[in-house]
Amino acid sequence: MTGQSKPLVISVPEPRTLDLIFTPGQKQVLFDRYEVVETGASGVAALPNHILARAKYILGQPPISEQTLEKLGQLRCVLNVESNLIDNMPYERLFQRGIYVLTTGAVFAEPVAELGLGLALDLFRGITNGDNDFRHGKERWGGEGNASARLLSGAEVGIIGFGDLGRALNRLLSGFRAKIKVFDPWLPASLLADNNVTPASLEEVLSQSDVVFVVASVTTENEGFLGGESFRSMRKGAAFVLLSRADVVDFEALMAAVVKGHIVAASDVFPEEPLASDHPVRELKGFLRSAHRAGALDIAFKRMGDMVLEDMNLMDRGLPPMRCKRAERETVSRMRSRPVDKN
């Protein structure tokens, strides 16, 4: 294969970098297989017409105007190496032309699920508090320190949202013999049953669980859908673990429920990030804090590179992509999580 005949990739992965998402070996594969034209997000429109005309893939989600898109005559796929979709390209026209728009957010499912399980076990057993007491010579030994300790094995577990992350969590829980109820209005009941979880209403999930994991993405429709009444409906002493986006929750109401001692909670996401240094959640007892660290593991970013290479390889061979998630006409406009400005 001569250089000329290699498929052309326009690389604009910012805010990611190629070195973040590819191991050295994978990056070598990328450059061996493809002609890679690197530019900044604003630079795509300025690329020479003969480059645009030959581009088969775009790595990243730079702004693309209708006009530029017309020049991208061979474009097969936009691989946006993020979880979200910015409204900066004419999606409808892309879909008409059969150009795939792929997101790689699935790489975060496993890391986030593991942290979520860790947070839940911590809330159930007081791991962080126990260690702090121990450091300060105030630890209580044996059963005396376990007044509120609970088992996850056999517990009733609620999951709100059953995308990649909900499924990863369900998989991690498979050794716990938990009774898992799931609320996800976007999924048919039979698909939930196939995953051995019980479809349930939001009310059932909240009021009948020992721990509730929130892994639903923010959409135009569910902002702040978990508020004061939601938390009040939970079991006394139950645990609430927030893993997806802070915007699905009325954060003040969540804190109030914890202050009252009705529930305990853990969260990886916050209304503003970084958070004001005097935000009251910083000292809130019964609340476990994680600074949006659930997904951003090096191993997850490197899996993005894997996924991208696997799917481009499939498309090179005339097959549809299978690893990344495809943007859908129906949902592209509903998804509104903010772009990341930090990896």
Of residues 101-120, those binding its own copies (CB under 8 A): 110-111, 114-115, 117-119
Binds its own copies (CB under 8 A): choice among 70, 87, 252, 328: 328
**What distance in Å separates the CA atoms of residue 115 and residue 291, rounded to the nearest whole number?**
12
Q: What's the min distance (Å) between Cβ of 48 and its own copies? A: 29
Residues 6+ apart with CB under 8 A from 176: 152, 153, 154, 155, 157
Binds its own copies (CB under 8 A): choice among 143, 220, 236, 272: 143
Asked if 319 is part of the footprint of its own copies (rule: CB under 8 A), the reply reads: yes
Asked if 152 is part of the footprint of its own copies (rule: CB under 8 A), the reply reads: yes
Binds its own copies (CB under 8 A): choice among 145, 227, 237, 271: 145
DSSP sequence for 136-155: TT----GGGG-TT---STT-
Beta bridge partners of 182: 159, 199
Q: How many residues bind its own copies (CB under 8 A)?
A: 86
Q: Which amino acid is at 185?
A: P
Residues 6+ apart with CB under 8 A from 144: none
Per CB under 8 A, which region of 60-68, 78-86, 174-182, 249-257 contacts its own copies? 174-182
Which tokens sit at 252?
A: 């003040």
Binds its own copies (CB under 8 A): choice among 39, 128, 208, 222: 128
Compute CA 223 distance to the chain's CA centroid, rounded to the nearest angstrom: 16
In the window 42-71, what residues touch its own copies (CB under 8 A)?
none
Give whole-number Cα distances, 111 to 134, 136, 166, 187, in Å: 28, 31, 12, 23
Over the window 270 to 289, marking each residue x when it contacts its own copies by CB under 8 A and - when it does not, the resulting string is: ---xx--x----xx----xx
Closer residue to its own copies in complex, CB, 162/231: 162
In the window 185-244, what residues touch its own copies (CB under 8 A)?
186-191, 196
Closest CA to 77 of 17, 10, 32: 10
Q: Which amino acid is at 333?
A: S
Closer residue to its own copies in complex, CB, 28/331: 331
Binds its own copies (CB under 8 A): choice among 36, 53, 90, 95: 95
Whether 234 contacts 205, CB under 8 Å: no
Asked if 142 is part of the footprint of its own copies (rule: CB under 8 A), the reply reads: yes
